[in-house]
A and B are shown apart, each in its own frame.
Chain A
Amino acid sequence: MTITTIQEELIDEFSLFDDWMDKYEHLIELGKSLPLIDASLKTEEKLIKGCQSKVWLHAEMTDGKVVFTADSDAIITKGIIAVLIRVFSNQLPETIINADTSFIDEIGLKEHLSPTRANGLVSMIKQMKLYAVAFQAQQKK
């Protein structure tokens, strides 16, 4: 699936719920379904700064595509990561770097998060794009 299709799918999925409590419920379910990151990868350097809860993000290159795995000690945060992983994982580095992130506003994620969480969300996307940039640079070598 292309990154745009996945984003549209997510927007549709979240638009099924009118009530924000239900959207949260969905986010929590997504969080619970997130495959856990290997415990050995939960290190200080995989931690993303700017979150009130802890977030570990790990990236690997498989067949030219970036595969992200992540975990958090807070379940709603995990739900947010699950959304981001669905969009950004298994994509080419340049797709990730150039990806438009307006789907976040369309889902309404940012405005319904507390400011600290919204900051965390921005840091997560930034970190994912940074990984993509690093992998792209490696490929060019």
Chain B
Amino acid sequence: MSFDVQKIREDFPILKRKVNGHPLVYLDNAATSQKPQAVIDCMVDYYSNYNANIHRWVHTLSQEATDAYEVARKKIQNHFGIIHPEEVIFTSGTTHAINLVANGFSSILKKGDEVLVSAMEHHSNIVPWQMLCERTDATLKVIPMNETGELVMEDFEKLLSENTKLVFLNHVSNALGTINPIEEIINKAHKVGAAVLIDGAQSCAHIKPNLKALDVDFYVTSAHKMCGPTGVGILYGKKEWLEKLPPYQGGGEMIKEVTFEKTTYAGLPHKFEAGTPNIAGGIAFGVAIDYLNEIGFQEIATYEDGLLSYATSELLKIEGLKIYGTSKNKTSVISFNLDGIHPYDVGTIVDKLGIAVRTGHHCAQPIMDYYKIPGTVRASFSFYNTKEEVDKLVEAVKRAKMMLS
């Protein structure tokens, strides 16, 4: 299929909106992606036609809802190259999935154990592990990064030892766009017997991973980053690991038998799926995956790379503009600042011109501390953005610069 961005834009009703009197230019895709009509329709269809609780199927509606939910699990399994459907645990998102794993490791780690985290993590991939280390007396160590925003692999290797039990990092950094060399990291971590968790929240919309080939132990992501609804995501875990970890939350769905003396837990995936889940969200996640695959991840990556290099060279023509995160290997994210101007001011002016960018520390304060800046302006592009929108961004940044300096 040839890539026709104008046709694709028709699929996203929100792109017809005006903001502050200007047509919306949505460049905050790293925070959350917009939703195609197919995903919106799917949610409306569920609530209009077969809303029922699942896995309790005596009646027809419940059976239809359960089937649709399990079909979505299958789609997720196929998309991510997962061997067993029960290795797909539905969660409310990346944050929930990380907390589930961190909680599980409370009963596995002990004093003297070490866990490694990269220097470019989202707070949701830092804080749960810090809490875990506090509970278990394990030590948290940081894989440093360099000025271009890449991990220093020699230092990573030096940090590895037989004490290393866990390594966790994002596939792509949300603040810089750097694509981390996860194959190499997984291989090296496995050599010392450490498990690896990959946070795919920023990569899932751009890169289709094959989790079996990667041999990763855990992979987590959120549907809303890849054209799906908010409030749903997944934890993938190797079966051996998921069987080893204790349940996270107690409740309905996750039990086999309950008496006041003792409860036995249900098998996978239900052991980790306590309570009524986000049924419509789960089903719509499957639809979002279908939608993206229909366009094709290769096509998406090629198109977005084109936007990224165009935007990079146009923005760099503005005097005093500095880009943070200059790895050759990055997704379509540009974090930048104008010399002597606060990112918040730039974001405010740019918003008045209808352009949505994010400003601030992007939930990655350690990165900002590394560069000694209060934050950045971040423009993140998706396959439904256009070159014309890049031009509007560049014009808006120029205008902001003129007003603010």
Contacts and interface: CB of A to CB of B under 8 A. Distances in A.
B277 interface: no
Between A73, A74, A77, A117, the greatest number of chain B beta carbons within 10 A of the residue's beta carbon is seen for A74
A53 B20 CA distance: 23
Given A53-B342, A53-B374, A114 B403 contact: no
Interface in B136-165: none
A75 B345 contact: yes
A74 B351 contact: no
A72 to B, nearest CB: 8
A21 B342 CA distance: 18
B125 interface: no
B352 interface: yes
Contacts of A117: 344, 348
Given A25-B403, A52-B360, A74 B20 contact: no
Interface string A116-127: 010000000000
Contacts of B360: 52
Contact of A28 (B20, B359, B374, B403): B403
A74 B352 contact: no
Nearest to B349: A24
Tell which of B20, B345, B351, B360 has the most Cβ of chain A within 10 Å: B345
A28 to B, nearest CB: 6
A110 interface: no
B348 A24 contact: yes
Nearest to A113: B348
Given A74-B344, A75-B342, A24 B352 contact: yes
Nearest to B347: A114
B341 interface: yes
Interface residues on B, range: 10 to 19
Contacts of A24: 348-349, 352, 403
A76 interface: yes
Interface string B318-350: 000000000000000000000001101101110
A20 interface: yes
B404 interface: yes
A48 B348 CA distance: 20
A21 B404 CA distance: 12
A76 B348 CA distance: 9
A64 B73 CA distance: 70
A20 B404 CA distance: 15
Contact of A52 (B341, B359, B404): B359
A54 interface: yes
B403 A20 contact: no
Contacts of A52: 344, 359-360, 375
A20 to B, nearest CB: 6
B175 to A, nearest CB: 15
A50 to B, nearest CB: 13
Contacts of B341: 75
8 contacts: A21-B352, A24-B348, A52-B375, A53-B374, A54-B374, A73-B374, A74-B345, A75-B342
Ordered nearest first, which 9 A-B pairs have the shortest CB separation? A74-B342, A74-B344, A53-B344, A76-B345, A74-B345, A52-B344, A75-B345, A73-B342, A76-B348
Given A24-B348, A24-B403, 19 more contacts: A20-B20, A21-B352, A21-B403, A24-B349, A24-B352, A28-B403, A28-B404, A53-B342, A53-B344, A53-B374, A54-B374, A73-B342, A74-B344, A75-B341, A75-B342, A77-B344, A77-B345, A114-B347, A114-B348
Interface of A: 20-21, 24-25, 28, 52-54, 73-77, 113-114, 117
